[in-house]
Amino acid sequence: MENYTIEEFIRKTQQDEQENDYFELETERILEVNLTDTVWAKAGSMISYTGQIKFERERMLEHGVSKMFKKALTGEGTSLMKATGKGRLYLADQGKKVTIFELNNESITVNGNDLLAFEPSIDWEIKLMRKVAGMMAGGLFNVQLSGKGRVAITSHYEPLTLLVRPGEPVITDPNATVAWSGNLTPEFRTDVSFRTLIGRGSGESIQMEFKGEGFVIVQPFEEVYSAGPTSS
């Protein structure tokens, strides 16, 4: 017989205090950061914390003029917050599934809307897909992350990884594309005939094509991006 007492609920859902990795999956949809110094996270992603932690919005010139310029072009989706101090920090984003990667002098490119957090040791650069900016609401930007350290990304439901091989390109819907290996540069196909769009959303008039060798991560969900900056 099921036990529905409050004590049983707490036992099943309480935090695991034995975990001490910098990034831990507290649940598949909540990231625990065992903070000892600094972490960069998506603005608005904090759901709880213990200890002495201070939160700051990314300052205008914090990462230099070039990144400030790119941020101005890409809108609210690139907003980061810096958490500093010591304690346990819990991050989440609209109930999306969290995946952690340990980069070892590797590179991964993440859709800007799907980046949850990364260690300060990681190098990053915002890249705006200008060709597609006028075709999709708010355009499409991504963040290239490289170096050594942990990165946490999010996806709606279970992600699927597709392997890209020479001579075998992979085509994806931009709204369902979460991340890809840093050595790949997607091209955009806009030659979809009008007949294929009948009864479908206009977002499917654009496709991303990945050629070469690497991987692409997609989600079973077409994300809709806002047309510009929003408050959070």
pLDDT in tens, the chain (232 residues): 667 877 888 787 777 766 578 899 999 999 999 999 999 999 999 999 999 999 998 765 455 555 554 454 444 445 789 999 999 999 999 999 999 999 999 999 999 889 999 999 999 988 777 666 555 554 577 889 999 999 999 999 999 999 999 999 999 988 899 999 999 999 888 755 555 555 555 444 788 999 999 999 999 998 775 444 333 3
Contacts for 184-193: CB closer than 8 Å, 24+ residues apart? 184/109, 184/210, 184/211, 184/212, 184/214, 184/216, 186/210, 187/211, 188/129, 188/131, 188/132, 190/135
pLDDT in the model for residue 212:
96
Domain around 183: 19-218
Residue 139 within any structural domain of the chain? yes
Question: What DSSP character marks residue 58?
Answer: P
Residue 61 within any structural domain of the chain? yes
pLDDT in the model for residue 133:
54
pLDDT in the model for residue 1:
62
Residue 11 within any structural domain of the chain? no
How far, in Å, CA of 15 to CA of 47, rounded?
Answer: 13
pLDDT in the model for residue 42:
92
Residue 86 within any structural domain of the chain? yes
CATH number at residue 170: 3.60.160.10
* Tokens, residue 219: 């989600």
Q: How many domains is the chain partitioned into structurally?
A: 1
pTM reported for the whole predicted model: 0.81
How far, in Å, CA of 38 to CA of 82, rounded?
Answer: 7
How far, in Å, CA of 18 to CA of 159, rounded?
Answer: 28
Residue 5 within any structural domain of the chain? no
pLDDT in the model for residue 228:
40
Residue 148 within any structural domain of the chain? yes
Q: Are strands 115-118 and 123-128 parallel, antiparallel or unpaired?
A: unpaired
Residue 3 within any structural domain of the chain? no
How far, in Å, CA of 191 to CA of 156, rounded?
Answer: 28
Residue 13 CB coordination number (10 Å)? 9
Residue 133 within any structural domain of the chain? yes
How far, in Å, CA of 163 to CA of 151, rounded?
Answer: 20
